[in-house]
Amino acid sequence: MKKADIIIAFLAGEGVAWLFVWFLKKSAIEIGLLNWGLPILFPFLAIICLWASYLIGKRYLFVFQLAKFLLIGSLFALFDLVILNSLMTYFGVTKGIEYSIFVTTSFVIATSVKYIADKFWAFEKSERKGMGREFTGFFIITLISGGIHIGIASFIVNIIGAQFGISPLIWANIGKILGIVVASAWNFLGYKFIVFKK
């Protein structure tokens, strides 16, 4: 494993930990020691999981690629959520057509930078030749992913609506995260077998 792998795994684990802490606080759940325990535990778990996938990846390369893809995805998902929550907080809106516009905006900004990280880190394609065609493929796969992502998030928030006494803000984030998870499966397959195939 390279230093960059360890640093990115650490940052992804730390970011996900603070997202959990934020969710728990916003849900009015008493978290006690988890407030400090998660930001210490998650980064080390991320590094250990990446290291295990690296060892398995020596035999089955896709395992290591998938682990790196998920780490990069979690970092950009956090970036995406920060943008979404900033928009919802600033405008005081957590549903409706405005929510769908906010989800679209945060998705476009986050994925516009993700191409570089996926190409050079997750799939380790250093060639610059044919980047125009490659980026076009990336854009098409990502555009379909965006439709999946935005459709699921909008359905959960605008059609199903907040459930189980969960606040509209937390429910909006749940919709966004579920959209990200489903779209990520599509992205990995599309990027690996179409865009960044070797």
- pLDDT one-digit tens code per residue, 29-87: 666 776 778 888 889 999 999 999 999 988 888 888 888 888 888 888 888 888 888 89
- pLDDT one-digit tens code per residue, 72-95: 888 888 888 888 888 988 999 888
Cα dihedral sign, 27-29-35-38: negative
Q: Between the CA of residue 138 and those of 29, 69, 72, 74, 108, what are the distances in Å?
A: 40, 14, 15, 18, 13
Please, which pLDDT band fits residue 194 given cuts at 50, 70 and 90? confident
Distance separating alpha carbons of residues 77 and 83, to the nearest angstrom: 10
Q: Identify the burial level of 106 via C-beta atoms within 10 angstroms of its C-beta, where 0-12 means exposed, 13-18 middle and 19 or more buried.
A: buried
Q: Identify the burial level of 76 via C-beta atoms within 10 angstroms of its C-beta, where 0-12 means exposed, 13-18 middle and 19 or more buried.
A: buried
pTM for the whole thing? Answer: 0.67
pLDDT at residue 155, rounded to an integer: 94
pLDDT at residue 198, rounded to an integer: 60
12 with 71: CB under 8 angstroms?
yes
pLDDT at residue 44, rounded to an integer: 92
